Amino acid sequence: MNTLDIELVSVSKSFGAISVVKDLSLEIPQGEFVSILGPSGCGKTTTLNMIAGFNMPTSGDIRIRGRSQVKVPPERRNLGLVFQNYALFPHMTVSENVGFGLRMRGVAKSEIATAVSAALSSVRLEGFGERYPKALSGGQQQRVALARAIAPRPSVLLLDEPLSNLDLKLREAMRVELKEIHDQLGMTFVYVTHDQEEAMAMSNRVVVMWQGEIAQQGEPGEIYRKPATRFVADFIGRSNILSVHRARAQAGFLEIAIGGGPLVLRVTRPLSPERVQFCCIRPESIRLLPASPPSGDARNHLDGVVRRIVNLGAHAEVLVAIAAGLSLTALVRSSPASALPALGEAVTLAVEPQDIQLLAA
């Protein structure tokens, strides 16, 4: 079994009367890449700051490798920190920046030189040691900040939106690099972000936060395929969320009524009928078929009319009205061009029973 690096045990944090983190419990095994993902203001930074020791929990305990940290100051927690504003010292060279923490601890010069060069090689900045920060690009500066955090070899690295100041291309490249650095160093990474793609791309585990609580946690693919709540379904990826008016258990499946009742879908995923309030269908799991004449046994076929097409390059989002006030978005490959329907065209949507996720609320 994996040993736990970090444990949050019923942690709450209030600022005055405002409760920001509510009874949050979380276990982070050694060596994992865990992302804390959620919308702005949900309490991610507050949670990270409590792990780092910059914020004291109002109640609950924070343990690092089994030992309560509540009375341990930040500098004694053996954690590395990387933030959005990487705040390099402008008057120090790259090497001096990276070695800063080690110098503060009084580590011997030769040892610092070895650690600095290992850290720079981890972030692929060999040969940049003598440069000053102003002579580096944003991405390179962020890598220096990363090298500075890993040089003392902390057991845990805490990262708070470290890529959000970089442009999209660089962010995507850095995602891959960060993951490689994690795999190479075997440190535990706790990564805070509001960018779900970033969290999905890098993490072993994603912890989705909402209003100071954990909405769901799990492996990225599982969270995407089986969102537990309406919030998670909506926040992670794109989805069609429909309210369910009636759910009836049948032999081996559930029959749900959507769109005020007339449209019925079969669902094979379990959730007791009384709890079903919504269902989620991912756009990529909806197939677009030529309009088919009504037939008694066409299961999970919905007829509609194309109302909008948004070209996204390789794919297009096709909005299809299936009833008054009810539309579904399907994701369709845009090549060959003949794969795309025309505006106003009558089409049939098909969805497999196992691709419909039922949600409680």
Ligand X SMILES: Nc1ncnc2c1ncn2[C@@H]1O[C@H](COP(=O)(O)OP(=O)(O)OP(=O)(O)O)[C@@H](O)[C@H]1O
> What does the binding site for ligand X look like in residue numbers (CB under 6 A)?
15, 18, 20, 38, 40-46, 194
Tell me whether residue 35 or residue 45 sits nearer to Mg ion (CB atom): 45
Residues near 141 by Cβ (< 8 Å), separated by ≥ 6? 86, 88, 133
Tell me whether residue 206 or residue 271 sits nearer to Mg ion (CB atom): 206
Distance CA 271, CA 275 (A): 7
Residues paired with 266 in a beta bridge: 255
Residue 41 binds: one of ligand X, Mg ion, none (C-beta under 5 to 8 A by kind): ligand X
Please write down the long-range contacts of 73-80, taking CB distance under 8 Å and 24 or more positions apart: 77/52, 77/53, 78/154, 78/155, 78/156, 79/51, 79/52, 79/53, 79/154, 79/155, 79/156, 79/157, 79/158, 80/149, 80/150, 80/152, 80/154, 80/156, 80/157, 80/158, 80/187
Which element (helix H / strand E) includes 27? Answer: strand 18-29
Tell me whether residue 161 or residue 303 sits nearer to Mg ion (CB atom): 161
> For 337, which DSSP code?
G
- C-alpha count within 13 angstroms, C-beta hemisphere, residue 90: 1
Cβ at position 230, least distance to ligand X in Å: 20
Cβ at position 361, least distance to ligand X in Å: 22
CB atoms within 10 A of CB 278: 19
Query: Site residues for Mg ion, window 13-72 (CB under 5 A)?
Result: 45
Cβ at position 40, least distance to Mg ion in Å: 7
Cβ at position 163, least distance to ligand X in Å: 13
3-state DSSP call for residue 127?
Answer: coil
Tell me whether residue 38 or residue 139 sits nearer to ligand X (CB atom): 38
Cβ at position 145, least distance to ligand X in Å: 18
Cβ at position 159, least distance to ligand X in Å: 12
Tell me whether residue 182 or residue 194 sits nearer to ligand X (CB atom): 194
Cβ at position 48, least distance to ligand X in Å: 8
Residue 43 binds: one of ligand X, Mg ion, none (C-beta under 5 to 8 A by kind): ligand X
**Extended beta strands in 30-127, E state:** 33-37, 59-64, 67-68, 79-83
3-state DSSP call for residue 111?
Answer: helix
Tell me whether residue 84 or residue 327 sits nearer to Mg ion (CB atom): 84
Query: Site residues for Mg ion, window 131-170 (CB under 5 A)?
Result: none
CA 297, 300, 304, 310 torsion-angle sign: negative
Tell me whether residue 45 or residue 122 sits nearer to Mg ion (CB atom): 45
Residue 46 binds: one of ligand X, Mg ion, none (C-beta under 5 to 8 A by kind): ligand X
Residue 40 binds: one of ligand X, Mg ion, none (C-beta under 5 to 8 A by kind): ligand X
Binding site for Mg ion (CB under 5 A): 45
